Chain A
Amino acid sequence: MKAIVSVFARDRKGIIAYVTGLLAEKDINVLDISQTLMQEYFAMIMLVDLKDCPLSFDELSQYLAERGEELGLSIHIQRQDIFDAMHRV
């Protein structure tokens, strides 16, 4: 299953390294990545593949949220289908 991971935080060094580290730890492959700065806020969006991830979607979602909080990051994961549905005819 493919999913979108979105990360929002005040900009600082090491956010990408930290988040990709979390994903690698759970055997998640990053397919694509994009980042942007909105004023001083950092927004990163990643398309990831969950096929080798041992966690259930729920567990993963909780894991990312908790580990994100440790660094003051807001990390969410959503199935890709929602974005496809809303923005593609």
Chain B
Amino acid sequence: MSYLLNSNDILQTIQMIDQQHLDVRTITMGLSLLDCADPDLSVCCRRIYDKICKRAARLVETGTQIEKEFGIPIVNRRISVTPIALAAAACKTDTYVPIAQALDRAAAEVGVNFIGGFSALVQKGSARSDEILMRSVPEALAVTERVCASINVGSTKAGINMDAVAESGRIVKKTAELTADRDGLGCSKLVIFCNAVEDNPFMAGAFHGPGEPECVINVGVSGPGVIHHALEECIGQRFDVVAETIKRTAFKVTRMGQLVAQEASRRLDVPFGIVDLSLAPTPAVGDSVARILEAMGLECCGTHGTTAALALLNDAVKKGGVMASSHVGGLSGAFIPVSEDEGMIAAAESGCLTLEKLEAMTCVCSVGLDMIAVPGDTSAETISAIIADEAAIGMINNKTTACRLIPAPGKTVGDTVHIGGLFGDAPVMAVNPASSEAFIRRGGRIPAPIHSLRN
């Protein structure tokens, strides 16, 4: 139409936003809390609260301004902080629950829905503060609303800390028990990682890594609906066309994220960190990663071919997005959280999508076994063993993997766990009934893998 713009392009953007759920999923401010350390726990809490309230005071308002001016929905504004096991290590205390409460109050004060970083990095071993943090996780998640916790139990460089894996299984169980009245809601705010990244803007696994600057803006884009719509235009075409279509679409989505990130960074006077090019589904119809896989020709997500479809999708999203942003980071790829994805829920309910298939899918997707409800009577050792399997996939393949499992108290296969909101509903999936107890009881470390002789 004009010397500047093509009306078809404009209509396409408007349709993406209006009909295909295109949005910026989160603007996340990463904030270092290392200078809040104090031997006195209450002083440390006060410093943390004050710093967050001061630095993030304009975060929500700025997001809203950008949303209005550009006409792009920005779903969440969030904060990630230095892992509390580091920030609070100097405190003379045996619990970090008061710090979680300070984080929760600060998040409420500045108006963000989640704050991530109640975390410990224990891939090689636990310091005293890591142990305190891990012990504090179940109660912290039960008594706070907005705090998210994570534990990194392994890495490609360090191997897997099997003591931490064993402990993590018990933490997940305890967290579910303490939030039993809400179907184990606490577990949806707890991620057990291998190869955790320091600049992830997505919850529940976000924290502000020790290698990060003082304060930074990271943006997570989304857009499963947009990719799905684009693929509907190439039914029956060869995979070359499918990959190209995803790349082109991912490019456009990421450019929008980059624009929002730069604007937010400029207005808040905080450096821009990264854009995370993730396809993050929501429970809304038309915003599903599973439906993209099905649009490639699978009758139901979870059937044979699903892993290959996901591998293509994950890779094409990255290839399309990388050129669209000056700095790409975070988890970048396709998320496959079961409860947060309408198509995954349907596939799991129909029995086509099983835990074993999901594990295979995590070898090629961006993260791992995410938002999966398992029977409430699943033992801590079995949960630890699932975590160990997932960590092994991450360690060997040099990628981030994670577990966010919900052993919903009182629920069993066939039941549905109602977590609500963005977390959605999860059908309880069967776990293997054979015991892994003696395996988990061993403890120690699984050594880091060799990096030659790769077969």
Cα distance, A47 to B10, chains bound together (Å): 11
Contact with A along B1-22 (1 / 0, CB 8 A): 1111111011111100000000
Given contacts A32-B1, A83-B5, A87-B252, contact A58 B10 (CB under 8 A): no
Q: List 19 A-B contacts (CB under 8 A).
A: A6-B10, A32-B3, A33-B1, A34-B1, A36-B11, A47-B2, A78-B69, A78-B71, A79-B71, A80-B5, A81-B259, A82-B13, A82-B259, A83-B9, A84-B5, A85-B255, A85-B258, A86-B252, A87-B5
Instruction: Establish whether residues B11 and A45, one from each chain, have CB atoms under 8 Å apart when the complex forms.
Output: yes
A57, CB-defined interface residue at 8 Å: yes
With contacts A45-B11, A76-B71, A87-B252 known, is A4 near B259, CB below 8 A?
Answer: no
Contacts of A47 in B (CB 8 A): 1-2, 4-5
Complex CA gap A76/B18 in Å reads 11
Chain A, interface size category, equals 20 to 34
Q: How near does chain A come to B221, taking the closest CB pair, in angstroms?
A: 11
> Smallest CB-CB separation from A57: which chain B residue?
B69
Indicate which residue in B5, B68, B255 contacts A4 across the interface (CB closer than 8 Å): B5
Cα-based distance from A87 to B248 in the complex (angstroms): 10
Q: Which residues of A contact B (CB under 8 A)?
A: 4, 6, 31-34, 36, 43, 45, 47, 57-58, 61, 76-87
In the complex, the answer to whether B6 meets A87 with C-beta atoms within 8 Å is: yes
A86-B9 in contact (CB<8A) = yes
Closest A residue to B1 by beta carbon equals: A34
Contact A4 B70 (CB under 8 A): no
Contact of A58 with B68 at beta-carbon distance under 8 Å, contacts A83-B13, A87-B6 already known: yes
User: Chain B residues near A58 (CB, 8 Å)?
Assistant: 68
How many of chain B's residues touch chain A, expressed as a range? 20 to 34
- Contact of A83 with B258 in the complex, beta carbons under 8 Å: no
Are A82 and B70 interface neighbours, CB within 8 A? yes
- A32: nearest residue on chain B (CB-CB)? B2
Minimum C-beta distance from A45 to chain B (A): 5
> B residues engaging A (CB < 8 A)?
1-7, 9-14, 68-72, 252, 255-256, 258-259
In contact, A85 and B68 (Cβ under 8 angstroms): no
Partner among A31, A43, A86 whose Cβ is within 8 Å of the Cβ of B2: A31
List the B residue with the shortest CB-CB distance to A74: B18
The 7 closest A-B pairs by CB, nearest first: A34-B1, A32-B2, A78-B71, A87-B9, A85-B259, A34-B7, A85-B255
C-alpha gap A38/B5 in the complex (Å): 19
- Complex CA gap A31/B259 in Å reads 24
Contact B255 A86 (CB under 8 A): yes
- Cβ contact within 8 Å between B1 and A82: no
CA distance A85 to B3 in the complex (A): 16
Known: A6-B10, A45-B7. Is A82-B256 also a contact (CB below 8 A)? yes
User: Which one, A6, A32, A43, A79, contacts B69 given CB within 8 A?
Assistant: A79
> Which of A36, A77, A79 has the most B CB atoms < 10 Å from its CB?
A79
Distance from B319 Cβ to chain A, minimum over Cβ atoms (Å): 15
Task: Name A6's closest neighbour in chain B (CB-CB).
Answer: B14
Chain A nearest Cβ from B305, distance in angstroms: 32
Known contacts A86-B252, A87-B12; 8 further A-B pairs (Cβ under 8 A): A32-B1, A57-B69, A76-B14, A77-B71, A84-B4, A85-B256, A86-B9, A87-B9
- B69 neighbours in A (Cβ, 8 Å): 57, 78-79
Q: Whole-angstrom distance between the alpha carbons of A79 and B263 in the complex?
A: 12
A43 touches B1 (CB 8 A): no
Q: How far is the CB of A86 from chain B (nearest CB, A)?
A: 5
Pairwise interchain contact B10-A4, C-beta atoms closer than 8 A: yes
Asked if A80 and B68 sit within 8 Å, CB to CB, the answer is no
A45 partner residues in chain B, CB cutoff 8 A: 1, 7, 10-11
* A44 CB, min distance to chain B CBs, angstroms: 9
Residues of B within 8 A of A80 (CB): 4-5
In the complex, A77→B10 CA distance in Å? 12
Residues of A within 8 A of B258 (CB): 85
A6-B14, A36-B7, A45-B10 known; A81-B70 Cβ under 8 A:
yes
Cα A57 to Cα B72 in complex, Å, equals 14
Bound Cα distance from A30 to B6, whole angstroms: 16
**Could you tell me the distance in whole angstroms from the C-beta of A7 to the nearest C-beta in chain B?**
11
Bound-complex Cα distance A45 to B6 (A): 10
Q: Give Cα A86–Cα B250 distance, bound, in whole angstroms.
A: 10
Measured between C-beta atoms, what is the minimum distance from A23 to chain B in Å? 16
Q: Which of A31, A58, A61, A83 has the most CB of B within 10 A?
A: A83
The CA-CA distance from A57 to B70 in the complex, in Å, is 10
The one of A33, A43, A77, A84 that contacts B11, using a Cβ cutoff of 8 Å: A43
